[in-house]
Amino acid sequence: MRLGVIDVGSNTVHLLVVDAHPGASPVPYRSERSTLRLMRFLDEDGAIVEEGQRLLIDAIGSAAATVAEIGVDDVISTATSAIREAANGEEVLARIARETGVELQVLSGDDEARITMLAVRRWFGWSAGEILLFDIGGGSFEIAQGADEYPDAQVSLPLGAARATARFLRGDPPTRDAVSALRAHARAAFTEARDALFAERPKPTRVVGTSKTIRSLGRLVGGPADPITGAPAPIYYTGLREWEPTLREMPSDVRQYLPGITPERGPQILAGAILLRTAMKVFDVPTLIVSPWALREGIVLRYIDALDAPGRSGSPGASGAPAG
């Protein structure tokens, strides 16, 4: 079957179309993205302003038109922290449905962590053992840990790369004091989460990072993927530490020319590096491996699992497939 996923995040509206059926890995058919960087379009009360709403509607409408043109058996449409935490999120959701016909299912932070862990577990397999997962989005930072397909502990923190950039790193390039303020804020948040939720977990056998931000940092810090296996290079704490001063001194329009950094990631890759290095420091992680699969793949996998469930008849509705 052919399945479409429209994923509305803090940075992009991403359309992923895959061919999938139970017992097989989903095969990408088409992928399109519109860069929005919604954090630029929040007013002082945290509401998405008219320009941001218009960009959202245009991007989602374009994705829906592509889905209609391709022809799919079903489509799942989800939204994450940008709309979830917006002061006028409900009104924006209603307007999107009214003007595009797309009804977005808003995932909670726990949903994001759980579904992403499923994707990571399926990618690395059971031999990976106890996995500690870091996932940096535009608006939130998810941490999860467990030995199964779903985590035993998870948390979603409002520490995404775009959010941290907008709140702390307003200069271009930012001041040293601004960088120190972000690092101190992140250290406190990660330490509190570690002590409250992860202190009793066993030492992980594998620490994994997902998301476009982490994949970009992996390409920058670790180098290209393995030429034989295609596996992304690992990220070393020492490598992040060495690169951070260079990123800090560069304007965002220069960072985009670094290996692995795209124009839409240039403005927020410094925040991503600070957040990831701080999380690795707090959780005592010297090396992190990168998963090519993340939230969108997890959504597809959950959908396929529902198709294969005993006694299941018909197609699992888009509204229910990715629920936690």
Q: Among 158-162, 249-253, 305-309, 315-319, which is the least confidently predicted range?
A: 315-319
pLDDT digits (tens, 9 = 90+) for 133-189: 999 999 999 999 999 999 999 999 999 999 999 999 999 999 999 999 999 999 999
Position 311 scores a pLDDT of 60
| C-alpha dist (Å) from residue 146 to 121, 197, 201, 255 | 10, 12, 8, 35
Q: How confident is the model at residue 317 (pLDDT cuts 50, 70, 90)?
A: very low
Output the six-digit token pair for 272.
Answer: 């991503």
Interatomic CA distance for residues 213 and 202, integer angstroms: 27
Instruction: Check whether 264 has a pLDDT greater than 90.
Output: no
Alpha-helical runs (H) found in the chain = 50-70, 81-84, 89-100, 109-124, 161-168, 176-193, 212-217, 237-249, 252-255, 269-282, 295-307
Interatomic CA distance for residues 280 and 274, integer angstroms: 10
Instruction: Check whether 319 has a pLDDT greater than 50.
Output: no
Interatomic CA distance for residues 61 and 59, integer angstroms: 5
Which has more confidence, 321 or 259? 259
Interatomic CA distance for residues 214 and 288, integer angstroms: 10
Which has more confidence, 111 or 320? 111
| C-alpha dist (Å) from residue 313 to 21, 300, 303 | 15, 18, 13
Least Cα distance to 275 among 231, 315, 244 occurs for 244
Position 23 scores a pLDDT of 86
For residue 138, the 8-state DSSP code is S
pLDDT digits (tens, 9 = 90+) for 122-136: 999 999 999 999 999
N-terminal to C-terminal alpha carbon distance within the chain: 23
